[in-house]
Structure 1
Amino acid sequence: MKVLMFGWEFPPHISGGLGTACYGLVKGMAHHKQDLIFVVPKLWGDEDPLAEFVNASDVEIDYRERRFRDIWKNLTYLEVSSFLVPYLSPEEYHNHTERLLKDQDELESSVLANKFSFSGKYGKDLILEVSRYALVAAQIAKNKKFDLIHAHDWLSFPAGIAAKQMSGKPLIAHVHATEFDRSGQTVNQRVYDIERAGMEAADKVIAVSHLTKNTIVAKYGIPEEKVTVVHNAVLDTSIIKSKEEKKVPEKIVTFLGRITFQKGPEYFVEAANKVIKKDDNVRFVMAGSGDLLNRMILRVAELRIGTKFHFTGFLKGDDVDKMFALSDVYVMPSVSEPFGISPLEAVRHNTPVIISKQSGVAEVLQNAVKVDFWDIDAMADAIFALLHYNGISKMFKEMGREELKKLKWEHVAKKVIDIYKQTVNQ
Structure 2
Amino acid sequence: MKALMFGWEFPPHILGGLGTASYGLTKGMALQPDMEITFVIPKPLGDEDKSFLQLIGACNTPVVWKNVHRDHVQNRIGNCMDIQLYYDLRDHIYSDFSYCYTDDLGCIEFSGRYPDNLLEEINNYSIVAGVMARTIKFDIVHSHDWLTYPAGIHAKFITNKPLVIHVHATDFDRSRGSVNPVVYGIEKDGMDNADHIITVSNLTRDIVIEKYHQNPSKVTTVHNAVEPMNAEVAAVKFQKNTKTKIITFLGRITMQKGPEYFVEAAAKVLRKKSNVRFVMAGNGDMMDQMIRLVAQRNISDRFHFTGFMKGIEVYKMLKSSDVYVMPSVSEPFGISPLEAMQCGVPSIISKQSGCAEILEKTIKIDYWDIEAIADAMYSITTYPSMAEYLRVEGKNEVDRITWEKAADKVRNIYDKIV
User: Normalised by the size of structure 2, how large is the TM-score?
Assistant: 0.89
Alignment pair present for 1:139 and 2:131: yes
Is the 8 Å Cα contact of residues 329 and 353 (structure 1) preserved in structure 2?
yes
Listed one character per residue, the Cα deviations across residues 94-115 of structure 1 (whole Å, up to 9, x for unaligned) are xxxxxxxxxxxxx964389952
Partner of 2:56: 54
Unpaired runs of 5+ residues, structure 1, are: 73-106
| One-letter amino acid matched to 1:365 | L
Alignment pair present for 1:156 and 2:148: yes
Alignment pair present for 1:181 and 2:183: no
Task: Report the aligned-residue RMSD.
Answer: 2.2
Q: d(CA) in 2 for partners of 1:181 and 1:67?
A: 37
What displacement does 1:145 show? 1.3
2:285 paired residue among 285, 291, 294 = 291
What displacement does 1:218 show? 1.0
Q: d(CA) in 1 for partners of 2:171 and 2:239?
A: 40
What displacement does 1:62 show? 6.1
Partner of 1:328: 322
Is the 8 Å Cα contact of residues 241 and 349 (structure 1) preserved in structure 2?
no
What displacement does 1:237 show? 6.3
SS of the equivalent of 1:403 reads helix
| One-letter amino acid matched to 1:42 | K
2:297 paired residue among 303, 307, 316 = 303
Q: d(CA) in 2 for partners of 1:189 and 1:111?
A: 30
What displacement does 1:248 show? 8.9
Unpaired runs of 5+ residues, structure 2, are: 66-90
Alignment pair present for 1:393 and 2:384: no
Q: d(CA) in 2 for partners of 1:304 and 1:331?
A: 21
**Percent of paired sites with the same residue:** 51
* Matches for 1:1-400 after TM superposition, within 5 Å: 1-33=1-33, 34-49=35-50, 50-61=52-63, 109-110=100-101, 114-236=106-228, 240=234, 242-246=236-240, 249-400=243-394
Note closer, same or farther for the CA distance 1:373–1:140 as it changes in structure 2 (3 Å cut). same
Is the 8 Å Cα contact of residues 207 and 227 (structure 1) preserved in structure 2?
yes
Listed one character per residue, the Cα deviations across residues 184-219 of structure 1 (whole Å, up to 9, x for unaligned) are 111111111111101110000000000000111111
SS of the equivalent of 1:119 reads coil
Aligned length: 388
Is the 8 Å Cα contact of residues 237 and 404 (structure 1) preserved in structure 2?
no
Q: d(CA) in 1 for partners of 2:357 and 2:241?
A: 36
Q: d(CA) in 2 for partners of 1:151 and 1:178?
A: 14
What displacement does 1:400 show? 1.1
SS of the equivalent of 2:121 reads helix
SS of the equivalent of 1:11 reads coil
Q: d(CA) in 2 for partners of 1:181 and 1:114?
A: 38
SS of the equivalent of 1:110 reads coil
Partner of 2:78: none
SS of the equivalent of 2:364 reads strand
Q: Please say which of residues 227-236 and 48-57 is displaced more in the overlay.
A: 48-57
Note closer, same or farther for the CA distance 1:138–1:45 as it changes in structure 2 (3 Å cut). same
What displacement does 1:247 show? 6.7
2:404 paired residue among 385, 390, 410 = 410
| One-letter amino acid matched to 1:177 | A
Partner of 2:80: none
